[in-house]
Amino acid sequence: MATSIYQCLTRITAAITENKDFLTELDREIGDADHGLNMARGFAAVLEKVPQEEPDFGVVLKKVGMTLLSTVGGASGPLYGTAYMEAAKVAAGKTEITADLFDEMLGAAIAGIERRGKAVRGEKTMLDALIPAKDAFAEKVAKGASFVEALDAACAAAEEGVAFTKTIAATKGRAAYLGERSIGHQDPGATSATLMLESIRDYVKG
């Protein structure tokens, strides 16, 4: 499936910007109260720096990662920056996206986050949304589902992952200082990761 990655990034930026206050409020409860603001600033910079007419997914995603790394504060910048740069390696030279390629890109992004953040699923992080999303996506693709159907399943699983983060204590980042008091609050990173997946799904749907 051919797609304009710049237009997809525009959709992601709009979703992050629209929800920046919500993301920041979530972060106020268990973090530094800046996640939404930082992410909105980072993706605004992405749209300024990413070449609009570049067809190579790898080139674009590497630029996205480098931009987020340099403009998004806190842990989110290095984590999302690494995620996009790892996805870029898989997508190098590709000018159209398929379900199999997206699955590989998502897997590479997750591996990058795990490595950079020294994190695993179940620690109240973005991984609690992304890993179940990846599993649901791959399962649907293996059963012959369409790209959109697989993305729908991924988004549903990510949303369930966000809900799950409310039930566990944080063990990573600033939220870890709250310990058991972080239970009952959803993770801002898991929420922003889900917003990205939903934006991609909505863009692919057209």
Check residue 175 and give its pLDDT.
54
Torsion of the alpha carbons at 31, 32, 33 and 34, rounded to the nearest 10: -120
Check residue 182 and give its pLDDT.
62
Which domains does the chain carry?
Answer: 5-205 (1.25.40.340)
User: Can you list the residues of the chain whose pLDDT is less than 70?
Assistant: 1-3, 172-182
Check residue 114 and give its pLDDT.
97
Check residue 177 and give its pLDDT.
42
The string of pLDDT tens digits covering residues 27-59 is: 888 777 899 999 999 999 999 999 899 999 999
Torsion of the alpha carbons at 136, 68, 10 and 2, rounded to the nearest 10: -60
Check residue 1 and give its pLDDT.
40
Check residue 27 and give its pLDDT.
86
pTM assigned to the model: 0.93
Check residue 28 and give its pLDDT.
87
What is the C-alpha to C-alpha distance for residues 145 and 90, in angstroms, rounded to an integer?
22
113 neighbors 79 (Cβ within 8 angstroms): yes
Who contacts 59 (Cβ-Cβ below 8 Å, separation ≥6)?
51, 88, 92
